[in-house]
Amino acid sequence: MTELRVKCPRCGRYWTAHVGDSDVECTCHLICPLGAKTSDCTVTAYADVDSWKWPVGVHLGFQDDMDNQTNVNHYCSTHDYYYFKAPVLIEVNWAKAERRVNGKERYFGEGANP
């Protein structure tokens, strides 16, 4: 078995894991809450999440002097929107793939004998 399909628990999209992959990253964190798919948004991540009140204008439901920038790490320039979504790493369970094979012969390249 050289491939295994895994499902993202957040968005439900299926990804293909190849031999040697221990996990697969889903791209659903690259869609801002105002977009429907990754092509709708132009998302950039920024590293300066420790400074308060930067960038100016992010309110997250707090008063103007209480902006919590530690909870914002993505910016969608298409929608001019700051948001936080943690990336989803989907663990690949190769033991599950081995159980599916269940005794079927495997061939590793051309010319392999059964």
pLDDT value of residue 31: 93
**Per-chain mean pLDDT for the chain:** 75
Report residue 94 as tokens: 């190769």
pLDDT value of residue 49: 46
Spatial distance between the Cα atoms of 86 and 75, rounded to a whole number of angstroms: 13
Residue 108 has pLDDT above 80, yes or no: no
Residue 62 has pLDDT above 90, yes or no: no
